[in-house]
Amino acid sequence: MTIYWQLIWAYIKIGIFGFGGGYAMLSLVEKAVVGPGWISETMFTDIVAISQMTPGPIGINSATYIGFVAPGSVNPELSGIGWGLLGSCLATLAVVIPSFLLVLYSSHFIRRHSESGAIKAIFSGLRPVVVGLIASAAIMLMNAANFNPNGINWQLWTNIAICVAAFILVYFPIKIKQKNRRLHPILIIIMAGVAGFLIYGL
């Protein structure tokens, strides 16, 4: 049962200090759940991918999923669905409640003191930190578990090509019917899934 208290404490800290949204949280989440050995690095990257594709914020989705799998991974006696659901509920509530209370109070405080020089200075310092945390999450995900899990060179270069192609298709507009348009991220996800199935599944 210790794992449940550890999950609650880990996600309370993530909920309090996870500035910048889900992507900025990823480095905190990775240290909290992969470091103690609750889940493997490969499983963590899979959870990030699933959390990206399912509706809802990535931080909450990943907390729900990790809360489900971590108890059974740490203690085989806690591998049932009921134990997993308990872990999901606890981890999700632990990450949501601190953020909810902080946003509730800070929005009221900021609205009252929006013209304060101190508040403006605080946000000037927080903005580059958030960018750094998101960049850290991006770099953290550029690992062997994502790009070369089987240690095969052609898979490494194929995965790099898919990554670069996805970035180009999302970031750069494509001329469609005389208008510059960017492809919707959902379409990119579907295309990447189809490509993965054709390359690795057949």
Number of structural domains in the chain: 2
DSSP secondary structure letters along 35-68 = TTTSS-HHHHHHHHHHHHHSSS-HHHHHHHHHHH
Does 100 lie in the same domain as 113?
yes
Average pLDDT over residues 7-27: 79
Domain span holding position 195: 148-201
Same domain, residue pair 78 and 161: no
Tokens of 102: 């902080």
C-alpha 153/C-alpha 29 separation (Å) is 29
Please report which confidence band the pLDDT of residue 189 belongs to, taking 50, 70 and 90 as the band edges: confident
Task: Give yes or no: residues 61 and 96 share one domain.
Answer: yes
164 with 89, same domain: the answer is no
> The whole model's pTM is what?
0.66
Q: Are residues 75 and 90 in the same domain?
A: yes
pLDDT of the residue at 32? 85
27-82 tens-digit pLDDT: 788 888 888 888 887 788 888 878 777 777 777 888 888 889 888 888 888 888 88
Region 14-18 average pLDDT: 80
**Domain end (from 99, 116, 143):** 143
